[in-house]
Chains A and B, each alone.
Chain A
Amino acid sequence: MHGRGDPTRGPGGDGGGGEPRDLVRALYLGLLRLYPAGFRERFEADLIQVFDDRRREARFSGAWGGIRLVWFLLGDFVRSVPMARQWAERMRRRRDGQGRRERIMGNLLQDLRYTARMLVKNPVFTLAAVGTLALGIGLNATTFSAIHAILLRPLPGADAPEELVQMYRVWGGIEYGSNSIPHFQDVRDRTGDVYEDVAIWTFAPVALSADGQTERVMPLIVSANLFQTYGVQPLLGRAFIPGEEDRGPGAHAVTILGYGFWQGRFGGDPGVLGRTIDINGHPFEVVGVSPPGFRGPASFAEAPFYVPVMMQREVMPGSDLLEARGNNSFNMVGRLRDGRTVEQAQQAMDALLVQLREEYLDQYDDQLGNKLVLQSEAGIHPSFATASMGMSAVMMAVVGLLLLIACVNVANLFLARAQDRRKEMALRLSLGAGRGRIVQQLLTESIVFALLAGGAGLVLAWFATGALNAFRPPMDGPFAFYIELDRTVLVFTTAISVLAGILFGMVPALQATKPDTMTEVKGDASAGSRRSRLSSGLVVFQMALSLLLLISSGLFLRSLQGAAQIDPGFDDPSNLVTAAVDPGLLGYEEAEARQILDRLMEEVAALPEVTEVGFASWLPLGLSNSDRGIGIPGYEFTENERRSISYTYVTEGYFEAMGVRFVEGRSLRRGDDENAAPVLVVNQRFAERFWPGESAIGKVVETAGQEWEVVGVVETGKYQRLGENPTEFMFIPKRQRFYSGTTLVARTPSDPQAVLGRIRSVVRGIDPDMPVYDLRTMENHMGMALLPSRLGGIVLGLFGLLGLTLAAVGIYGVMAYSVSQRRRELGIRVALGAARGEVERMVLREGLRLAVVGAAIGLVGAFGAARLVQGMLYNVSALDPFAFGLVPLLLVGVAALAVYLPARKAARADPVGALRAE
């Protein structure tokens, strides 16, 4: 070895070097700061060592040597500082990138492995936690996907649905009015600068004959450019041809089949093109099949087939809409040109209205304006927007609450387990594991649980949406839902799962890492108190939520009961049967149709089981409703006053069969026909509005271009909804205004089902091809009016029961756990002579206190919730004493049971065993 410094001479102790070299050394130490910190930390001692070694070399001694040393060191710095910096930079990058990533990923993998072991090791815990959550998540996913499919999602299958605008007309009292065919033609031809295309559509009932069987179905009657407007390519064949098939009434007996109908009726046969289907006795050639993704322009229905609007007279016999500017029954939709906005379209429509008012003097006087709604914001129909969004919000809130209850339960499970793992956690904390690290581990666990539950929830949702899609509401029309678990639903479900995981994982995670490590390691029996305080809070919360749900469902159930007590304005609906026919659909002219209907009435009246029979064009409390503008001599309507009145056409016998009571005047007679003077029956509300304090008999109503004399006044009933406020109504003699669509009502004191069978044979005897539909009792018919309330009651009732079960399980779990934690304390009490009954009462009292506090909080919430659902309730106060009195009692009762079992166990505790266990 060369030049090894003499160990007896310390650095700086060289007498020969003296001051200058000390100075050089000091300088060198200062200049070391030029190196990056990482390099210095690692090599500083070695650098100084080598410096000292060098300094002692002969060539660097003496004054010149000192100068040479400084020069030498400067050169050394110039070369080595960049080297050191690069080295430090590489080290830092390696540590940051690879190191940190590896550490976190490594931790995550470790946590995941640990979690997987836990899942398998505690199958009961896993099942309980995952099952509870899956229920909550599944409910949420189902509800969300239904709302998404019906209200939020843009129309499936349509190209660029954001460019589609629905157009409505505003009249006094009507915000979203429909459109007539001539009006549509003007809009289509005169708004080309804002719209690429404008189309119309409506559903209409027809008789479809095939294989000797005739049935009533509801196709869509559409303008020829409908498919182009929606940007839909037919799966097979062609679309209707704009410019050709929207000209020439009756000239285009062609049809495009809906995908579902094609699959169901024709087995998806591609050879269907060129075949004919028989609509109202007219052959229509199949020219196309619509693609599977496009179910038509309505999100809640799927049309069996499409027919061009030029065939309206054949499809809707007895009415001629092609020239009827005032007959508004079509939905109108336009596709905006590129870069055009709804506002510009609105201006164009308003400008067009001004022109149309001048061109068609009387026809547009009543129209106040136009209302344009983006397709994506229209939902089912914009006039229901508030109600349907409100209902959706209530549903989402309810299922959200249920998920919250489930989360609370699982949080409690986790908390209980965290208690068992406190020693593990405390040990890990004292061994230097960071709090963040442990929180990470616990959150990983809970999120894995939640994602598992999310997967299970999706499976539940898959079944539930399948059931919803198969559900056909008892309503007249091709109503069908098309609910999918699409990407939005998946994202939603994943999001709520992770959120739920964080929610129920966070509390136990933070709790677990908070303990005073020393007492935990030593094993302190009293340490459970903090945990039980927390879970007590959760139990209170849970009780409150369950109470809220149960009271809401109680209100709906009470509302159902209340609805049964509402007087609909007619007698016992269970002994009233209905049946609908429409001879016009089969091409019968008015005279023939009248004969057929007369024969039907006579033959049904002759049935021994039938006491009264009558016809109406449509019945109250169904979905159909018509109104028409009226004038009353001597009565001035104010500007915004609604001048259209709901009505139906009825024959003699209708009021008698229904059991509608007359206040004054007479009922209709067979003689009130086309040859007699026009007469009218109105309801009491009508009479009071227009002739207050006078008799309505003999008064005149102007409508449909005629004057009608009021001959009778009936009690005001319910016409659209059982919950509606009293509304004006008129009954126009069906014999004076012929309308082919006819619903027969017959009262029978005997078995209604037998009578329904007899009526069917009567119809078949008259014309075997005539479809008869809506064969049911009036009670079933009314079921539709009660459907929202009934569904609400059932769904909320189920949810409430679920919530109650979850809450009961939760309170039982907490109490059982708390008792097992306090075995020693309770054992000592028993050992010191406390009566077992006393211990039992003490535990019971504590549990019940939680239940009562929770119930009290829930009551406050329920008052608020009740106000929200008030509009959906029939004949029930939002503060219904039964719901608000009984439900809390029920809940506290269930809670008492859940507390009683652990309490009894506590009282039976063997004091000696309990003491020894510690």
Chain B
Amino acid sequence: MPDEARLNDVLPLTSTVFHVLVALAEGPRHGYAVAQEVEELTEGRIVMGPGTLYGSLSRMQEAGLIVEAENPGEDGVHAERRRYYRMTPLGTAALRAESERLLRAARVARSRLGA
């Protein structure tokens, strides 16, 4: 179980980190697939170039949110050479905590807007 202290170190998540974690929540992905998914999730607001993508991934790996994963060896010859990432328990916990914070914030916002 990731402890409180480490969790508090990584929270709150930046928008990019949050969406990368969302992209990895379904299972391991390689870098380009993560970028694609983030773009789709954010409706084109976050389009990561190669450097930004690996810069973010390396930083998240350093923070212990994600780790490199075994290459599942599926889809396509190029897939063989790609680095895959998956979430760590800390990443999962962070994503959960962040989503709950956003939900609470959204709920407050919506009730105040009278929705």
A203 contacts chain B at the CB level, 8 A cutoff: no
Contacting residues, chain A, for B75 (C-beta < 8 A): 1, 4
A76 touching B76 by the CB < 8 A rule? no
Task: Kindly provide the distance from the CB of A398 to the nearest chain B CB, expressed in whole angstroms.
Answer: 63
With the chains together, A79 CA to B52 CA distance in Å?
6
Do A73 and B49 form a contact, CB below 8 Å, given A3-B36, A79-B55, A80-B55?
A: yes
Do A87 and B50 form a contact, CB below 8 Å, given A45-B81, A79-B55?
A: no
Contacting residues, chain B, for A43 (C-beta < 8 A): 54, 58
A301 contacts chain B at the CB level, 8 A cutoff: no
Do A50 and B32 form a contact, CB below 8 Å, given A39-B58, A76-B52?
A: yes
Q: Which of A3, A5, A47, A83 contacts B50 (CB 8 A)?
A: A47
- What are the interface flags for B72-115 relative to A under an 8 Å C-beta threshold, 1 for contact and 0 otherwise? 00011110011100000000000000000000000000000000
A42 touching B58 by the CB < 8 A rule? yes
Chain B: CB-nearest residue to A75? B49
Known: A4-B32, A87-B58. 19 other contacts (CB 8 A): A2-B36, A2-B37, A35-B51, A43-B54, A43-B58, A46-B50, A49-B32, A50-B54, A53-B32, A54-B32, A75-B49, A77-B51, A79-B55, A80-B54, A83-B51, A83-B52, A84-B51, A84-B54, A87-B59
With the chains together, A51 CA to B59 CA distance in Å?
20
With the chains together, A49 CA to B49 CA distance in Å?
11
Which residues of chain A in 36-80 are interfacial with respect to chain B, using CB atoms and an 8 Å cutoff? 39, 42-43, 45-51, 53-54, 72-73, 75-77, 79-80
Chain B: CB-nearest residue to A50? B50
A80 touching B76 by the CB < 8 A rule? no
Chain B: CB-nearest residue to A81? B51
Chain B: CB-nearest residue to A39? B58
Ordered by A's residue number, 13 sampled pairs between the chains whose C-beta atoms are within 8 Å are: A2-B33, A7-B78, A43-B58, A49-B32, A49-B82, A53-B32, A54-B49, A76-B52, A79-B55, A80-B51, A83-B56, A84-B55, A87-B59
A437 contacts chain B at the CB level, 8 A cutoff: no
A90 contacts chain B at the CB level, 8 A cutoff: yes
Query: Closest 7 CB pairs between A and B?
Result: A76-B49, A80-B51, A83-B55, A50-B50, A80-B55, A47-B50, A2-B36
Chain A: CB-nearest residue to B34? A50
With the chains together, A386 CA to B75 CA distance in Å?
93
Q: Which residues of A come within 8 Å of B, CB atoms?
A: 1-5, 7, 35, 39, 42-43, 45-51, 53-54, 72-73, 75-77, 79-81, 83-84, 87, 90
Chain B interface, DSSP helix/strand/loop, else mixed: helix
Chain B: CB-nearest residue to A48? B50
Q: Which of A47, A49, A83, A84 contacts B78 (CB 8 A)?
A: A49
With the chains together, A818 CA to B58 CA distance in Å?
61
Chain B: CB-nearest residue to A57? B36
Task: Kindly provide the distance from the CB of B17 to the nearest chain A CB, expressed in whole angstroms.
Answer: 12
Contacting residues, chain A, for B48 (C-beta < 8 A): 76
Q: Which of B35, B52, B76 has the most chain A CB atoms closer than 10 A to its own CB?
A: B52
With the chains together, A51 CA to B53 CA distance in Å?
11
Contacting residues, chain A, for B76 (C-beta < 8 A): 4, 7
Contacting residues, chain B, for A53 (C-beta < 8 A): 32
Q: Which of A1, A54, A81, A83 contacts B33 (CB 8 A)?
A: A1
Contacting residues, chain A, for B36 (C-beta < 8 A): 1-3
With the chains together, A468 CA to B32 CA distance in Å?
84
B31 contacts chain A at the CB level, 8 A cutoff: yes
With the chains together, A3 CA to B35 CA distance in Å?
11
Chain A: CB-nearest residue to B76? A7
With the chains together, A4 CA to B30 CA distance in Å?
11
Contacting residues, chain B, for A49 (C-beta < 8 A): 31-32, 78, 81-82
B47 contacts chain A at the CB level, 8 A cutoff: yes
Task: Kindly provide the distance from the CB of B77 to the nearest chain A CB, expressed in whole angstroms.
Answer: 5
B77 touching A76 by the CB < 8 A rule? no
Contacting residues, chain A, for B3 (C-beta < 8 A): none
Do A80 and B81 form a contact, CB below 8 Å, given A43-B58, A50-B31, A50-B32?
A: no
A50 touching B35 by the CB < 8 A rule? yes
B62 contacts chain A at the CB level, 8 A cutoff: yes
With the chains together, A1 CA to B56 CA distance in Å?
21
With the chains together, A75 CA to B46 CA distance in Å?
12
Contacting residues, chain B, for A87 (C-beta < 8 A): 55, 58-59, 62
With the chains together, A45 CA to B54 CA distance in Å?
11
B54 touching A46 by the CB < 8 A rule? yes
Contacting residues, chain B, for A54 (C-beta < 8 A): 32, 49-50
Contacting residues, chain A, for B55 (C-beta < 8 A): 79-80, 83-84, 87
Which residues of chain B in 1-32 are interfacial with respect to chain A, using CB atoms and an 8 Å cutoff? 31-32
Task: Kindly provide the distance from the CB of B60 to the nearest chain A CB, expressed in whole angstroms.
Answer: 11
Contacting residues, chain B, for A42 (C-beta < 8 A): 58
A79 touching B78 by the CB < 8 A rule? no
Contacting residues, chain A, for B32 (C-beta < 8 A): 3-4, 49-50, 53-54
